[in-house]
Amino acid sequence: ARKNVEKGKDQMFKRLGASEGITALMDQFFNIGTTDVRIKEFLLKDKDRIKAGMTVYIVEMLGGPKAYKGKELGEIHKGLGVNDYHFDAFLADFGRALLGAGHQDVLIDEVMVSLEPVRADVLGRS
């Protein structure tokens, strides 16, 4: 998966269905995440704003247009009490959303490899 990611995220973006596909994926993720007792408290605080920001960020991160103009991830998550347990839950739910969208295991692995480095920023370790 790591080698495929190195070949270019623009291909991953296209295989995910471009912006429209990732937006639909985020809808699925929020359906899952907002019922997950491990992370729903973070997602439900201001669901629409959080979903919109996450969608733009993830579209860009996975090879889409550079459109994210929000705060740094560390700043956003500072003081929320987010830890590795919560980030692992996010990854698990995101993986479930990818699987539910019918994506192949290879693509799911590539997305997971791409998301993992964000952990340090979210948890204020970078």
Q: Which pLDDT tens digit goes with each residue over 28-75?
A: 999 999 999 999 999 999 999 999 999 999 999 999 999 888 889 999
CA 22 from chain centre, in angstroms, equals 10
List Cβ neighbours of 44 (8 Å cut-off, separation of 6 or more): 34
pLDDT at 2: 52
Q: What is the 3-state secondary structure (H, E, C) of 33-49?
A: HCCCCCCHHHHCCCHHH
Rounded CA-CA distance 12/15 in Å is 5
What pLDDT does residue 11 have? 87
- pTM (global) more than 0.95: no
Tokens of 27: 């809808």
- Look at 5 and 28; give whichever has higher pLDDT: 28
